[in-house]
Structure 1
Amino acid sequence: MESELDPDRIGRIGERQFEVLCERAGLYCNKSAVDVMGWDFIVEFPMVPAGQALPLDQRPTNAARVQLKSTLGRAGNRIRLSLSAIDRLAKDPRAALIVVFRLRADGELQSAYLVHLIGNELARVLRRLRLAEARKAHDINHTDISYDYEKVGVRFEPTPTGLLAALSASCGQNPGAYTIEKQRQLAELGYENGQFEAEALIQIEGPEHFSNLLLGLAPLKPHRLRVFDSRFGIRLPYQGTLFDDLEELRLTPPTLGNCEISIRGCGFGQAARFDGEMFIGPPMAEPHGPELLVRTPNFIVRLTPPALKFETVGLIDDMEHTLEEWAELLRALTLMATGRATLTIAGNDRIPSITFPVDQPITGPCLEELPLISEFVDGWLRLLTNAGLRSTARFKFDAFWESNEARMAVDILLKPKSEAHFEFQTLNIEESSPPPEGLYFNSTSFADTSITFSAKVFFEQTDDPEWRYRSTGFEALDVRPKVDDLEEYGMDQATAYDLKLIIDPRNITLAPRREAVGDPNTPARNK
């Protein structure tokens, strides 16, 4: 009876068989001269023939690093490799493979398996290395890692065709994309639940403060902070400088998904609508029980069993929004300031639509001016729509205090009974003529938009000896993007509407503003 092959002889037989199969498969097999690199062979694929499919400068090169293990299979289906060898092999950006040849007792090839160090198998290597680091077991030359090649490997026929098919399936046809994905996995595997964990000592001032912390409404200010890099659930002390300047942080509560918030008044007026996100607060028994938080970029709504709380995010003077965003926010604040509005939260599959009365007037700055400003913003948006314009600039609330001329245009063109009016000492008309009609035209701007408009003006005589003619109303005629020649525009409008009396904007003087702050309705007089 022949003696069993010793391990060294088994290894040499496997290597020669592998080299022969590579040659017969048309692969280029390069053996490692130094046995500490983690791989036995670099197997390169032939390049696409010149002049076919791709130009010479774009032909990719494809290769794999292979660790070959040969076994008689007498000790089961497991092979063992040093962790240091697998460390080098697995981290190579190209395909890293373990090929297992199972031999018969006489040295003939019986079957072959391929273990691809990508995905779960790469994660297993990285986890073992992280665990060794956590245990300070840095001598990984004397640490083994084993593989059940029948369980985690892919079996292939130990023939040239079988080897070529197995290697090609592992390496793919796009080595560049493979390398990118391999580098991503090397960087991200094990961090699926986040990279950092922290331990901090914080001071809690009471149940309400604790609730605010958990809802992310109040900053968490740690007195002592320890940060860990957590990979595969194995924590190591963080050594970088990323958190050196951290003074506070905020928690993010569990989300319930997106929702829609609408605020309506008691009449037929336009509602305000916002997109938001819902969060669930901690199940606290005190002071008011669990909270539901609805957050939008402009405000938050806190729902507790006894009450609804509405709070804007930051000071209104510090906010910066587009015209459309200002319109929704100012309309909402105006409606709620009446104390007769309703707030509806809908559009979430996990919670039914709910409506609350907003019967407690809100508090805050500029509440008396909000209705006038909100009316102006809605009106200006309507004029822009009619003119085919859109405002996209972001600006602060202070811009509304400098919008008198634009607000006058909205008042003249859109209000059924405009509070703006013209007064003249005399008009170039016959005394016996019917009440005169004139044309007023002008250009005005607000934020990043400018318009030119015209309106018919109706006059009546008064008993005032100083100002004998006063306007009684307006009829909007035209609005368009700002024109280059305003005088020519005015003459064209007068001709189109057969109006003889033309009010030149250059001859108009705005009267001083009324005492009510923010009142846009300023009477106009001739010079």
Structure 2
Amino acid sequence: MIERAERHAALHFASLSTASGAACNESKDDLHGWDYIVEIPPTRNPNRLPDKQPRIITALVQIKSTTKNRLITRIKLSNALKAIQSDLPCFIFMFSYNDDQIKIFGKHVWSEFSEIVLKKARQSEIHGSNSLHKKSISVLFEPSDEIQSSEIAQWIQRTVNEIGEDYASKKIRIRDKCGYEKRRYIVKFTLGPLDNIMQEISDHEIGYSEFLPATDFAVYDERFGIQSSYPEIFSQKGWAQFQTQGKNAILTISNQQVDKFELNA
């Protein structure tokens, strides 16, 4: 069995990456889980102008290792969330040392991984824990995730290129929409004070009054069907307006400082 598998895996990754022509910069002051920043030069296209050549691919990499049969590891939830929040491509590699063989497996931080992490982070907030660095998630590698040792840099490059030049915007879209398929906000408020609630609501519905007074107006973020513990916006007093027929609209909330908050309603 190999000694110091974790360190050996990191050095082996750097050696394999540089052998493929990539620049592999070790993280010397790491606070966010990255072991390397990898820069992969593109294949030059002789038919394109210099300023139209493909860009260098910069990726953030975390290295894990195992000497057991199960291809599973754990990473801090805080670091996993940072991988999703970064617009750069992020990868997790597993070096498996078993039966005198070294096998390499790779995971791309993309939609499936994002859903798992974002849901776990939201659940942690609901349970009253914002210390995500004290929590971890499991990352399971499948046999289909295996990568040939000579093709690490090429695999990273191919994975990023398959998504396209708008990689960052697609990753942002995944991050911003994941968990909001049903709805994004829950709005709560209390009507009043009203002297005669039924009469005043009826008067408002037929147009005798333009607004109704409201108190404790709160807008909560809802992700994966889980409401946030604290409102994104709160107002002790306000006004509400109702219509007899529903239609698409923009709900605009503002305060005396003219700060505005808009959402689809």
For the criterion TM > 0.5, the same-fold answer is yes
Contact 1:73 1:103 in 2 (8 A): yes
Alignment pair present for 1:156 and 2:146:
yes
Distance 1:174 1:97, change over 3 A: same
3-state secondary structure, aligned to 1:93: coil
What is aligned with 2:187?
198
Displacement, 1:54? 2.9
Contact 2:65 2:96 in 1 (8 A): yes
What is aligned with 2:110?
118
Contact 1:31 1:42 in 2 (8 A): yes
Displacement, 1:98? 1.0
Matches within 5 A, 1:134-173: 134-150=126-142, 154-161=144-151, 163-172=152-161
Displacement, 1:63? 1.9
Displacement, 1:5? 4.1
What is aligned with 2:50?
56
Contact 1:72 1:105 in 2 (8 A): no
Matches within 5 A, 1:37-56: 37-49=32-44, 52-56=46-50
Alignment pair present for 1:96 and 2:87:
no
Alignment pair present for 1:83 and 2:72:
no
Bigger CA radius of gyration: 1
What is aligned with 1:30?
25
Q: How many Å separate the matches in 2 of 1:240 and 1:46? A: 46
3-state secondary structure, aligned to 2:105: strand
- TM-score with structure 2 length normalisation? 0.74
Displacement, 1:250? 4.9
Q: How many Å separate the matches in 1 of 2:38 and 2:244? A: 50
Displacement, 1:174? 6.6
3-state secondary structure, aligned to 2:166: helix
3-state secondary structure, aligned to 2:176: helix
In structure 1, the gaps of 5 or more residues are 255-527
What is aligned with 1:240?
233
Distance 1:54 1:241, change over 3 A: farther
3-state secondary structure, aligned to 1:185: helix
3-state secondary structure, aligned to 1:226: strand
Displacement, 1:135? 2.7
The code of the aligned residue for 1:136 comes to: G
What is aligned with 1:420?
none
The code of the aligned residue for 1:13 comes to: H
Contact 1:38 1:87 in 2 (8 A): no
Displacement, 1:105? 4.8
Q: How many Å separate the matches in 1 of 2:64 and 2:241? A: 54
Q: How many Å separate the matches in 1 of 2:158 and 2:144? A: 11
Q: How many Å separate the matches in 2 of 1:193 and 1:219? A: 31
What is aligned with 1:128?
120
Displacement, 1:79? 0.8
Displacement, 1:179? 0.3
In structure 2, the gaps of 5 or more residues are 248-265
Q: How many Å separate the matches in 2 of 1:185 and 1:243? A: 35
Q: How many Å separate the matches in 1 of 2:233 and 2:244? A: 22
Displacement, 1:198? 2.1
- TM-score with structure 1 length normalisation? 0.40
The code of the aligned residue for 1:85 comes to: N
Displacement, 1:173? 5.5
* CA displacement 1:261-304 (0-9 Å, x = unmatched): xxxxxxxxxxxxxxxxxxxxxxxxxxxxxxxxxxxxxxxxxxxx
What is aligned with 1:453?
none
Displacement, 1:146? 0.7
* CA displacement 1:43-95 (0-9 Å, x = unmatched): 2211343x724322233221211111111234x23211111222222211011
Alignment pair present for 1:223 and 2:214:
yes
3-state secondary structure, aligned to 1:168: helix
What is the root-mean-square deviation of aligned Cα atoms in Å?
A: 3.4
Candidates 9, 15, 21, aligned match of 1:20: 15
What is aligned with 2:176?
187
